[in-house]
Amino acid sequence: MFDRSRWARRVLACVSLVSAGACGTSPKLVPASRTTGATPEAPTVAERIARVEHGLLPPVRIARETAPWSLEERMRAHRVPGLVVAVIDDFRLAWTKAYGVADANSGERLTETTPMQSGSISKSIAAFIALGEVRAGKLALDTDINASLKSWKLPPNELTRRTPVTLRQLLSHTAGTTVPGFNGYAFDDAVPTLLQVLDGRPPANSPPVVVDLAPGSRFRYSGGGVSIAQQAVLDAEGGRSYASIAKERVFEPFGMARSTYVQPLPTDRGLYATGHMRDRVIPGKRHMFAELASGGLWTTAGDLAIFWLEIQRALAGRPSHVPAEIATWMTTSVAPVRQDEDVAMGTFLSRHGNAQYFGNWGTNEGFQAISTVRKGKGYGVVLMSNCVGSQRLMQEVLRAIAHEYAWDGYDEPALERRPLDATRLAPFAGRWTFGARDGFDLDLSGGRMALRRPFEDSEELVPIDGDIFVGRDTGVRITFPNDHEAVMTSEGGRVEHAVRLASDAAAPIFLLEANRVDEAIGAYRKLLAVDANEPAASESHLGGMASNLLRLRQDEGALRIMRLDVALHPESTDAHEDLAYVYDCMGRHPDAIVEYRAAMAAMNRNPKASAETKAAYATRMGARIRRP
């Protein structure tokens, strides 16, 4: 299906505290001292802000070649409408500043006090709330969570009978629970209760939360697990609203005046940021969430910085609203995630050199955020954007701040370019594929190699030690075992094997990117003639291609691909609904209505759908049909 959060999840999978990227000292920049006292040499806040704004850095620096970028030019390059930065230094909020607009259509300016969705950073505050219940004796950390749950029970099975699920596991994504994340609910959707979400009952748009992996065996991201923790807190508090609990326990005592879990949003707080897919406003501007603990927090970068500061102060033995015991729980590893990254309760821990940082990141439909702070010291940063697709910009800003404030562990030396004759590079030039679904081009010009993946920006591949080539904008690494095989390793550690592509027809994604839609459709049909189950022509892949085309404002191409999707999958409610979504993005609501009705008809013909599911779906589609 054309999942409106597919692009968000793709980004989410690529963004972590580790992949924020280490940077070193640029030969063109001299890091300022970490001293912030009132001495003649101490830079002013304005000077530091200016250096950050003109000192953005890529993940890979090449000795004697890399020059810093300006924030303004990088916002344009990445098509990010709005960004807010909050810098922590010396155990205080040093400064916060907003850039760009809150809404690309209206042009309303973004300010430091404009609330945005924080995505999964909601889970960090939720963990603090749940651990407060533990400290108060209302919840247990390491006993069967079903002993604490009253309104709902986690369905038992052989796995949970052998090893009961605990709150510690739920807060650290080690409980073996399902449902990694939630899409939220569009402006015209019915919003379920939390119990409906946990059971996967309409109008919930996610499956039920169950255990299908041995509890405590390993890390696996689960927003569903955090939603169980939310229900445990609600039961412990006698059914009080989650928003009121958070306000009483966190927002009011911490002074986080612009933060709320209230949904729908309060109407007395002025402007809220609009969500974007790059610089395009998402339909309805923003989503609502029943899964508040998992992704429902509206806040500002400054408010989040205050939250992280309270934890830093507690760890340092300074006065804090966070009990030292909870601060320790939230920054102590429960399980490894990947190299140099562990998970704690409500946070992720990353290592840069010998320095440890903690924090969290988040992506909701139309919004992204990153927060990382130094464990044991009083500095860090929170970055929030009203745009999916802003992660590279935020990482560039993070590196500029780490450089300006001389953060520990962010001091790797620049890489040395290894001279290569063009004849050595020539055999690698051409088109490569990971199968019919995806691939990349390697272009040789002026003795240098450029990597270009479909729907992404081109970047130079720099030869370094051995036979390793590094993308200087993303840090991706490619090696060539021979002239016909390539191995690509992304920053997050994902490894993909590619082979030379014989023709465009084998990977129609290249044709779509070039807006050669007729040829792409022909290529899909050729693939299907060979294999009726070809993954490149699956409903989900075609929906992903339409999402990419919409992001690039190639609306007609997106429309034709979704028409192909419907033609190939005529009984799919998702295909019809997603075609309607494309029509809505194009402002063609009468055509969207036709497809919403087709989606309802397909649902009614689905023998596996219950009467309750069909009725809930009809209600949701009916609301979209009636929308002006």
Contacts of 324 (CB under 8 A, 6+ apart): 314, 315, 317
Nearest to 345 by CA among 363, 321, 325: 325
* Residue predicted with more confidence, 38 or 508: 508
Mean of pLDDT values over 179-184: 92
The answer to whether 572 and 605 have CB atoms below 8 angstroms apart is: no
Contacts of 58 (CB under 8 A, 6+ apart): 66, 69, 396, 399, 472, 473
Whether pLDDT at 24 is above 80:
no
Mean of pLDDT values over 608-626: 81
Out of 2.60.40, 3.30.43, 1.10.260, 2.40.128, the CATH code matching 422-502 is 2.40.128
Q: Could you report the per-residue pLDDT of 111-163, keeping only the tens digit for each? A: 999 999 999 999 999 999 999 999 999 999 999 999 999 999 999 999 999 99
> Which alpha helices (DSSP H) does 417-502 contain, by range?
422-425
pTM of the predicted protein model: 0.83
Contacts of 29 (CB under 8 A, 6+ apart): 51, 55, 68, 403
Domain 508-626 has CATH 3.10.290.10: no
DSSP state of 414: P
| pLDDT range class, residue 30, cuts 50, 70, 90 | very low
> Which alpha helices (DSSP H) does 531-610 contain, by range?
539-551, 555-568, 573-585, 589-605
Q: What is the pLDDT of residue 14?
A: 35
* Residue predicted with more confidence, 205 or 174: 174
Whether pLDDT at 36 is above 90:
no
Whether pLDDT at 6 is above 70:
no
Whole-number Å distance between alpha carbons of 204 and 194: 9
Whole-number Å distance between alpha carbons of 467 and 480: 7
Mean of pLDDT values over 289-294: 96
Q: Could you report the per-residue pLDDT of 481-522, keeping only the tens digit for each? A: 888 899 999 876 788 999 988 766 668 999 998 889 999 999
Q: Both tokens of residue 61? A: 């620096």
| pLDDT range class, residue 19, cuts 50, 70, 90 | very low
Per DSSP, the chain holds a count of helices (H) and strands (E) of 22, 20
Q: How far is CA 74 from CA 79, 83, 397, in A?
A: 8, 11, 10
Whether pLDDT at 594 is above 50:
yes
Whether pLDDT at 11 is above 60:
no
66 φ, ψ (degrees, to nearest 5) = -80, 125
- HSE-up (13 A, CA, CB side) for residue 121: 32
Q: What is the pLDDT of residue 492?
A: 66
Question: 């990141």: which residue's tokens?
Answer: 361
Whole-number Å distance between alpha carbons of 431 and 504: 9
Domain boundaries, the chain: 95-404, 422-502, 508-626
Q: Mean pLDDT for the chain? A: 89
How many Cβ atoms from other residues are within 10 Å of residue 269's Cβ? Answer: 15
Query: What CATH superfamily classification does 95-404 receive?
Result: DD-peptidase/beta-lactamase superfamily (3.40.710.10)
Whole-number Å distance between alpha carbons of 70 and 72: 5
DSSP code string of 84-133 = EEEEEETTEEEEEEEEEBS-TTT-PBP-TT--EE-GGGHHHHHHHHHHHH
Q: What is the pLDDT of residue 13?
A: 35
The answer to whether 84 and 102 have CB atoms below 8 angstroms apart is: no
Q: What is the pLDDT of residue 85?
A: 98
Q: H or E stretch including 537?
A: none
The answer to whether 330 and 345 have CB atoms below 8 angstroms apart is: yes
Q: How far is CA 538 from CA 12, 525, 526, 527, 544, in A?
A: 22, 12, 14, 11, 10
Q: Could you report the per-residue pLDDT of 272-290, keeping only the tens digit for each? A: 999 998 888 988 899 999 9
DSSP state of 514: T
Question: 């923790």: which residue's tokens?
Answer: 229
Question: 């027809």: which residue's tokens?
Answer: 505
Mean of pLDDT values over 539-547: 91
Whether pLDDT at 591 is above 70:
yes
How many Cβ atoms from other residues are within 10 Å of residue 19's Cβ? Answer: 21
